[in-house]
Structure 1
């Protein structure tokens, strides 16, 4: 018995907000602003977006660790402060997540193409299970059902560690992490896939880094889109994604390309 490089992909593991649903990733960011405001702490939408991709408690902790935000508390924010904000965040998020639950244009078609290529569909999210259950139900009503879902609080450690991605490998019964491609719109989500030993694809325009809704995105000129690609590619660079595309609609050609690389003996670590 000896190791054999997989010859084709077996699964694509998709993020949720900013990848499959919620173009611009507005559902979590606006609730962060509201949750902080309920404690008298002003938070801009841009600041709220900063640590996107982490689990939500960890996201709030990362925000509180930023000097300009910590200064608004008048003291160093403690874990108890983070938990208090998180406990305010959770019911707001559960109640309001449906306001930004629309499928991203082209996502269903891309997922159908992946299934036609023989791939299973896994998924991970920075949302805890309480919120994820609501997101999954709304997506199902719109026609999207992943084969496996792993929320941030269903593993001991979430992104950027590989726990959620690896839980999908187990849950989907896959043979090799190198037969998986992780797709995400955030740096922690790409690092999740990288640390799991998977192929990785970053999304430029549908998620957190552009931060526009779909109608606003459509109005961008060719020149502005090119400028934003350059800016966002630089933001993704520390995670070293294997590929960068604009939205999930651009994924199917990459599946064939990665399969060709696997057939030549290439691995994600190469």
Structure 2
């Protein structure tokens, strides 16, 4: 048997908040202060650990408890965090405008829909349940506690590849609104698409995004493009509604024997 490059995409691995649901990615941040947006996209225990390692947060903790946060402290915060997180998910479960039509477009092209997020399964189950009431059901879902390491490691994306029966990682595209999710896709050997305006980076709801002046939007795009630059996404677009054009371009590049790992 000889190896041959894939010639078209077989799967899209979608993030959740800021990508398909919850324009602005508010549910993961509402329990904490605004600093929570910094390490967005990581598994939630790692997210909390990273927050606690920030000097200003560690110092506030030391002033109250006489020490900086240990891993046991992080676990205790995490366990308190989960029930509150489920409450916020219910408040921010609406689909991003145009998401269903875009996903239907992908399915019509024979593209399977995988998904992963930084939530553990107990929270992810609620996200999936709520999304189904709005008409969105992914072909496969992987929670962060179902793999040894969550994002930015590639495990969740690769579990989707296996579960969906995809024969080559280069036939997959990872779509995400956070840097760890783009790194996940890159490390998994996939094409990657960063979402600039619908997620954590811009941090506005749909109405706030639509209300931005063209000059302000251009400034925000420039800022967010710079933020993503180091993770090397293959594409950067505003929202998931812009995805079909990128899918068409990736298919052209695959047909020309171009691979994501060399781009």
Q: Does the TM-score normalized on the shorter chain lie above 0.5?
A: yes
Distance 1:184 1:19 in 2: 6
Structure 1 residues 224-235: aligned runs within 5 Å: 224-235=216-227
Q: CA deviation at 1:267?
A: 0.1
Secondary structure of the 2:59 match is helix
Q: Secondary structure at the match of 2:29?
A: helix
CA distance in 1, matches of 2:103, 2:44: 26
Q: Deviations over 1:120-178 (max 9, x none)?
A: 00001001111110010110010000000001101011100000000000000000000
Identify the match of residue 88 of structure 2 among 71, 96, 105.
96
Mapped to 2, the partners of 1:124 and 1:97 lie a distance apart of: 16
**Aligned position for 1:67:** 55
Listed as ranges, the matches of 1:159-178 within 5 Å are 159-178=151-170
RMSD: 0.7
Q: Does residue 30 of structure 2 align to residue 30 of structure 1?
A: yes
- From 55, 61, 68, give the equivalent of 1:76: 68
Name the CA distance, whole Å, in 2 between partners of 1:208 and 1:201. Answer: 15
SS in 2 for 1:200: strand
> Which stretch of the first structure deviates more once superposed, 77-86 or 174-183?
77-86
TM-score (structure 2 length as normaliser): 0.97
Matched, 1:246 2:238: yes
What secondary structure sits across from 2:24 in the alignment?
coil
- Displacement, 1:96? 2.7
**Equivalent position SS for 1:12:** strand
Q: Per-residue deviation at 1:84?
A: 1.0
Deviation at 1:95, TM superposition (A): 2.6
Q: CA deviation at 1:76?
A: 1.8
Equivalent in the alignment of 1:123:
115
Q: CA deviation at 1:77?
A: 1.0
- Alpha-carbon distance in 2 for matches of 1:266, 1:95: 44
- Answer yes or no: is 1:17 the counterpart of 2:5: no
Q: Does 1:57 align with 2:49?
A: no
Matches within 5 A, 1:101-112: 101-112=93-104
- Gap runs ≥5 in structure 1: 34-43
After the TM superposition, which segments of 4 or more aligned residues of structure 1 sit over 3 Å from their partners?
none
Q: Distance in 2 between matches of 1:234 and 1:184?
A: 16
Q: Does 1:264 align with 2:256?
A: yes
- Residue 21 of structure 1 deviates from its aligned partner by 0.2
8 Å Cα contact 2:30-2:88 kept in structure 1: no
Distance 2:219 2:88 in 1: 33
Under a length normalisation based on structure 1, what TM-score does the superposition of the two structures give?
A: 0.95
- SS at 2:199 equivalent: coil
